[in-house]
Amino acid sequence: EPEVTQTPSHQVTQMGQEVILRCVPISNHLYFYWYRQILGQKVEFLVSFYNNEISEKSEIFDDQFSVERPDGSNFTLKIRSTKLEDSAMYFCASSDERGAYNEQFFGPGTRLTVL
Amino acid sequence: GQQVMQIPQYQHVQEGEDFTTYCNSSTTLSNIQWYKQRPGGHPVFLIQLVKSGEVKKQKRLTFQFGEAKKNSSLHITATQTTDVGTYFCAGRSNYQLIWGAGTKLIIKP
């Protein structure tokens, strides 16, 4: 069964450093998302992406965040200058052509630890 | 801003007892989705409700969407150890899914 994959599973970085989190969505999906979840807390929407552009973003997704689909398979989240409070699990998700109103398939997540 | 409130935060039950979680939105939703997250895992889609007053069942799980499309509930009958995890509702408003804080189902030993 197709699944969303994410790398790395765990990323440790120093405050102020840039990180790139990578995702490979399900191959025929067209809508892509990033979420974060601080340990034990709610899932927070960051951004949605369709047709090579951001379709929606939350207040959390400020100028230090960016997303890119550099090729036909990868979807990345870049955090330019990490802060301690960026430590969280970051989930990528994708959905099919029925899109934003349909179920989202989540990847296993990348645990980001900022020291 | 738009919010989806979910209660309770935790529910401790004996195996075999029932479990219910409730979600309430500050605005009318176009649809609502339910996800389950096992400990250490990622959210997994359970179901989507679209119509006012809709009720859907999946084996021991019953999902309801309120008449005003502002609230929803998930009820599990006769819980089993495999039901352990956190259950999230996520309401659709425009293109964004607004997530509830989740209800953690804990089975008492």
CA proximity to B34, closest of B69, B3, B72: B72
Report, as an integer, the average pLDDT of A17-43: 93
Which residue of A101, A102, A105, A111 is the best one to mutate when testing the B interface, meaning the one whose CB has the most B CBs within 10 A? A101
Quick one: CA dihedral B88, A112, B96, A60, positive or negative?
positive
Is it the case that residue A33 has pLDDT exceeding 90? yes
Is it the case that residue B43 has pLDDT exceeding 80? yes
Report, as an integer, the average pLDDT of B10-16: 96
Q: Are residues A42 and B100 in contact, defined by beta-carbon separation less than 8 angstroms? A: yes
Tell me whether A42 touches chain B (CB under 8 Å). Answer: yes
Report, as an integer, the average pLDDT of B10-38: 95
pLDDT of residue A83: 96
Is it the case that residue B73 has pLDDT exceeding 80? yes
Say which range, A12-26, A60-74, B59-73, has the weakest mean pLDDT: A60-74
Tell me whether A25 touches chain B (CB under 8 Å). Answer: no
Question: Which has more pLDDT, B75 or B96?
Answer: B75
pLDDT of residue A101: 66
Residues in chain A, total: 115
User: How far apart are the C-alpha atoms of A37 and A60, rounded to whole Å?
Assistant: 12
Nearest by CB to residue B99, choosing from A42, A100, A108, is: A42
Nearest by CB to residue A42, choosing from B30, B45, B100, is: B100
Percent of chain B with pLDDT over 70: 98
Q: Are residues A23 and A106 in contact, defined by beta-carbon separation less than 8 angstroms? A: no
